[in-house]
Structure 1
């Protein structure tokens, strides 16, 4: 291949890769239902400790799937704690759901999850200031009904699927990787969805808007 043509091809491929990530999408908040009919069990708890999401009525809620052995694990968890600190005096909550459906990036058991965060990633004695729930199927067969609902009003944030997804069947609404996020308004409906690479400043602007609504 001639050098000039090779450069053109390389730039075209880079452009396609960039276009594959959509980033932030606006959800259809007119969908029927809300998050308040759902709930989940804390990662180190039992069914008796199950949290009903109706306790978050009137709050803005950031839902995210997380992983402890992902390249974004340290920055992602620290960022979530920072958000909790920033909005400590306002009706805001983060809900985090570990999932093994992305290259087995949550290898520990539910009982070991908090130790993994404390000692490994992020480590340095990290303790999340938001609920971390038990491992959850966010896509595919056996998908948790909460994620079926939360994704139903939102388009995808990335056009392509990663090769390390460990579930089937794949659908267009699937989460593609850990640390995707969906922002829920005070009415319990999804308003925005974010690719894992979206800068937190974008999320903060939307949180502020929904808190002020």
Structure 2
């Protein structure tokens, strides 16, 4: 029994970023019958249920995602957002727009890295594996899209833009914390404590109530799910990509 646990314990040796943990082990026992297979949230269109039991035997990475972050970085992002997302339907302003005064600089936006270079790449490169994206608007109101059209058009035309389309399933926008949190996240958090003790800008950009120690702290937290449908590792938003990839490969080797 101990020998079987050693690889998992080694995987939970967390990289420290700015002195803080980037992941923790979850603690659901093998004797527990609860799993993600018990849940069937709606897809991004809100029309069909995604039976997570259909992913039985696969490794999953469940990620709460948001597409907006801050307003557009340049005129293309801003005008495409107006044209395709909100108000959409080809809208073009007939009044002058000034150049935005603050920009992000030369470094690639973190969302671009996560979506285009990481989550899509994972879903493309690994067999018996799937990313499950969960849009959520509880952190900085960074996913305000009202429906699948707004959310998907923002990804395609604004950020990351350039025709981007996620190659992994997206669920209908839901709450991951608070009074109306989805039962899937109640389950995941019940076995996986938060790697962070503090909250990002608590009370300022957190849009739910009440707050609990097990809460998701921000967009792009991740839960790694094993082949039995049970969470084994929970990652903070800024967990190193190579660390996540290594853990995924270890679980795939154990299938």
Q: Which bin holds the TM-score, normalised by the shorter protein?
A: 0.7 to 0.9
Aligned residue for 1:67? 66
TM-score, with length taken from structure 1: 0.86
1:18 aligns with 2:34: no
Indicate the larger mover: 73-82 or 142-151. 73-82
Task: Please state whether the residue corresponding to 2:160 is helix, strand or coil.
Answer: coil
Looking at structure 2, the residues matched to 198 and 119 of structure 1 have their Cα atoms a distance apart, in angstroms, of: 27
Partner residue of 1:92 out of 129, 140, 143? 129
Q: CA RMSD, aligned part only?
A: 1.4
Looking at structure 2, the residues matched to 208 and 165 of structure 1 have their Cα atoms a distance apart, in angstroms, of: 34
Partner residue of 1:173 out of 211, 214, 219? 214
**1:44 deviation in Å?**
2.2
Larger Rg belongs to: 2
In the alignment, structure 1 segments of 5+ residues that lack a partner are 1-16
- The within-5 A match list for 1:100-179 is 100-111=137-148, 112-163=150-201, 164-179=205-220
Aligned residue for 1:53? 52
Looking at structure 1, the residues matched to 191 and 33 of structure 2 have their Cα atoms a distance apart, in angstroms, of: 9
Task: Please state whether the residue corresponding to 1:105 is helix, strand or coil.
Answer: coil
Looking at structure 2, the residues matched to 34 and 150 of structure 1 have their Cα atoms a distance apart, in angstroms, of: 9
1:194 aligns with 2:235: yes
**1:171 deviation in Å?**
0.5
Task: Please state whether the residue corresponding to 1:193 is helix, strand or coil.
Answer: strand
Give the 4+ runs in structure 1 shifted more than 2 A. Answer: 70-73
